[in-house]
Amino acid sequence: PSFSAQAARVRVDRQTGQVRVLEVAAAMDVGKAINPRAVEGQLEGGVAMGLGYGLLEEVKMKEGVVINPNFLDYKLPTAVDMPVIKPIIVEQPSGTGLHGVKGVGEPPASLPAAAIANAVDDAVGVRLMRAPLTQESVLEALDASVAADF
């Protein structure tokens, strides 16, 4: 099996709920990295995909109809949204994979949402349990947190 972990550093605007991901460290046990540069590219690409899942991508429905069916309305991250990505290759060769390799394609994309949510909690003390962490959902959580303090 492949094991991976990610951590993010974010900036949260308490007035608007906007989350800006500044940096993501993405570590993964890849078995044997036959082509380390390609592995780094997979880690970086996975983080980029996961950034979309974590912050932007959402199919919006109204009365059973998708109301954002095109790329004009369905938000995706762009180059401007990309944080500094620090890929960390861990090599623990597999006893079952050819030449000791392990899969590296899918896992990096599944972790950024959780890493970002944890970073938001660390930054502003609100725990968000559902992706995407839209400006609206972050602002609602911040407002609820302030209301709970009174």
Instruction: Tell me the per-residue pLDDT of 29-54, one tens digit each, with 9 for 90 and over.
Output: 999 999 999 999 999 999 999 999 99
Q: Give Cα separations from 72 to 46, 76, 117 (angstroms).
A: 23, 9, 26
40 is catalytic: no
Query: Do 25 and 88 contact (CB within 8 A), yes or no?
Result: yes
Q: Scan for tokens 């590296």, then name that residue.
A: 104
Q: Are residues 111 and 54 in contact, defined by beta-carbon separation less than 8 angstroms?
A: no
Position 50 scores a pLDDT of 97
Which residue in the list 40, 106, 136, 140 is annotated as catalytic? 106
Does pTM top 0.75 for this prediction? yes
User: pLDDT per residue over 93-147, tens digit each?
Assistant: 888 878 888 888 888 999 999 999 999 999 999 999 999 999 999 999 999 987 7
- Token readout for 100 is 């000791």
Q: Can you give the residue ranges of every domain in the chain? A: 4-139
Fold of 4-139: Aldehyde Oxidoreductase; domain 4 (3.30.365)
